[in-house]
């Protein structure tokens, strides 16, 4: 596995990371913990060094899982986690589910360190921008944690270009995490230019469109109780049918490259910029190995141009978020 560098402060990670949310949260019944510990170990054995979690995944269960699995090999891995949500909304009236007050950031950091069984968080993201707390205060607080040795790098998630600039002026931002794939290309217009200008790495989550770009989801797919996708506009049967043309495009290129649609989707992201590190998630070893192989697939500039030109002609249907989730995106 090749490595890439996020930000200007030398955070070196594997070219593909592993999004761990689905191991505990969001996609129906959570898998067996022992199986997920084994999968995390398998990822490390295959060269993955970058693991993404958050306190809200579970909540708390995902950090506990990573702590159990990765603490014995802590020196071989980079762990990113996040702050910014109120786990119990009833405990903090009027905060709309968000809380990035300095005292809350510190409390989350201390709790995450214990669950992750480590003495430092490699990358600490603000999970969602809190409109009630100036981003300068957030950046300053994380900067203090960095100086205290509890955090190494500061990150933002789903933040707007203006917010990124304000935060970066106080404490250098190492990475931005937002959704990005052939299914969601909004970051190209304004985010990518700002990140390139400021020297900030980009960590796309849902790089496979929450599974859609693998070609394994169609109008006959049913989602079990607790699966987030059942609430998202892009996963209605009508939207899935309309957007199938994008999967067909990936399948055409995949056949030419002796690959899978998922591998082409990831290879396309890797070809976009050398400071982009996708974090596809999975709970299955064969999918983990399939995703990892994407890092060795070379798309020429002509391949990339062909994919993007064809994708631009496909009208996509359905919003990526439901109304409640959309309200949490910084604009």
Q: What is the pLDDT of residues 138-187, one digit of tens each?
A: 999 999 999 999 999 999 999 999 999 999 999 999 999 999 999 999 99
Q: What is the mean pLDDT of residues 303-324?
A: 93
| Alpha-carbon distances, residue 51 vs 26, 59, 63, 207, 277 (angstroms) | 17, 17, 10, 15, 11
Fold entry, domain 3-326: TIM Barrel (3.20.20)
Question: Is omega for the bond preceding 273 within 30 degrees of 0, making it cis?
Answer: no
Gap between the Cα atoms of 215 and 117, Å rounded: 37
pLDDT on residue 75: 97
Q: What is the pLDDT of residues 129-139, one digit of tens each?
A: 999 999 999 99
Confidence of residue 228 (pLDDT cuts 50, 70, 90): very high
Q: What is the mean pLDDT of residues 315-321?
A: 93
* Cβ within 8 Å of residue 88, ≥6 positions away: none
Gap between the Cα atoms of 331 and 328, Å rounded: 9
Phi, psi of 151 (to 5 degrees): -135, 145
pLDDT at 247 over 90: yes
Which is it for strands 151-157 and 173-179: parallel, antiparallel or unpaired?
A: parallel
Would you state the structure tokens that stand for residue 235, as one six-digit string?
């996963």
Gap between the Cα atoms of 268 and 308, Å rounded: 9
Please give the radius of gyration of the chain, using alpha carbons only, rounded to the nearest integer.
19
Annotated active-site residue 57? The verdict is: yes
pLDDT at 192 over 80: yes
pLDDT at 329 over 60: yes
Lowest-confidence segment of 90-104, 165-179, 240-254 by average pLDDT: 90-104
Sequence ranges of the domains in the chain: 3-326
The residue annotated as part of the active site, out of 27, 57, 125, 180, is 57
**pLDDT over 90 percentage in the chain:** 93
The answer for 314, left when phi > 0, alpha when psi is -120 to 50, beta otherwise, is beta
Lowest-confidence segment of 162-171, 207-216, 285-294, 316-325 by average pLDDT: 316-325
Gap between the Cα atoms of 265 and 181, Å rounded: 7
Name which of 222, 291, 330, 328 is nearest 50 in CA terms.
Answer: 291
Print burial letters for 216-244: b (CB count within 10 Å at least 16), e (below 16): ebeeeeeeeeebbbeebebbeeebbebbb
Gap between the Cα atoms of 314 and 306, Å rounded: 13
Print burial letters for 34-59: b (CB count within 10 Å at least 16), e (below 16): eebbebbeebbebebbbbbbbbbbbe
pLDDT on residue 271: 97
pLDDT on residue 165: 98
pLDDT at 92 over 70: no
pLDDT on residue 323: 87
| Alpha-carbon distances, residue 226 vs 30, 113, 198 (angstroms) | 10, 28, 39
pLDDT at 94 over 80: no
Q: What is the mean pLDDT of residues 222-246?
A: 95
Gap between the Cα atoms of 190 and 161, Å rounded: 7
Give SS3 for 18.
strand
Name which of 109, 154, 163 is nearest 136 in CA terms.
Answer: 163
Confidence of residue 88 (pLDDT cuts 50, 70, 90): confident
Gap between the Cα atoms of 320 and 213, Å rounded: 14
Q: Tell me what the pLDDT averaged over the chain comes to.
A: 95
Confidence of residue 87 (pLDDT cuts 50, 70, 90): confident
Q: What is the pLDDT of residues 34-77, one digit of tens each?
A: 999 999 999 999 999 999 999 999 999 999 999 999 999 999 99
Question: Structure pTM?
Answer: 0.96
Confidence of residue 91 (pLDDT cuts 50, 70, 90): low
Return the half-sphere exposure (C-beta side, CA atoms, 13 A cut-off) of residue 208: 26
Helix (H) or strand (E) holding 99: none
Contact (CB, 8 A) for 301 and 268: no
pLDDT on residue 89: 58
């Amino acid at each position: 596995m090749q490595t890439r560098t996020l930000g200007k402060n030398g955070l070196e990670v594997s070219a593909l990371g592993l999004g761990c949310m689905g191991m505990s949260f969001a996609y129906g019944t959570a898998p067996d913990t022992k199986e997920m510990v084994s999968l995390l170990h398998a990822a490390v054995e295959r060269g993955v060094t970058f693991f993404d979690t958050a306190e809200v995944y579970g909540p708390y269960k995902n950090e506990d899982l990573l702590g159990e699995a990765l603490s014995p090999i802590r020196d071989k891995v980079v762990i990113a986690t996040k702050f910014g949500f109120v786990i119990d909304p009833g405990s903090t009236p009027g905060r709309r589910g968000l809380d990035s007050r300095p005292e809350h950031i510190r409390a989350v950091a201390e709790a995450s360190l214990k669950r992750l069984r480590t003495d430092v968080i490699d990358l600490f993201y603000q999970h969602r921008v809190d409109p009630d707390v100036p981003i300068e205060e957030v950046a300053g607080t994380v900067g203090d944690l960095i100086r205290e040795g509890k955090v190494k790098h500061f990150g933002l998630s789903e933040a707007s270009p203006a917010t990124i600039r304000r935060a970066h002026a106080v404490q250098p931002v190492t990475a931005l995490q937002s959704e990005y794939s052939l299914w969601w290309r909004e970051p190209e217009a304004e985010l990518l230019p700002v990140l390139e200008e400021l020297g900030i790495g980009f960590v796309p989550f849902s790089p496979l469109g929450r599974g859609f770009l693998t070609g394994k989801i169609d109008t006959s797919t049913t989602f079990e109780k607790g699966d987030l996708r059942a609430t998202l506009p892009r996963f209605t049967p009508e939207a899935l049918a309309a957007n199938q043309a994008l999967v067909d495009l990936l399948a055409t290129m995949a056949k030419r490259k002796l690959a899978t649609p998922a591998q082409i989707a990831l290879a396309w992201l890797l070809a976009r910029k050398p400071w982009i590190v996708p974090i596809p998630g999975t709970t299955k070893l064969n999918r983990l190995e399939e995703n990892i192989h994407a890092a060795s697939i070379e798309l020429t500039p002509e391949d990339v141009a062909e994919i993007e030109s064809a994708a631009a002609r496909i009208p996509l249907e359905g919003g990526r978020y439901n109304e409640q989730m959309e309200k949490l995106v910084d604009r």
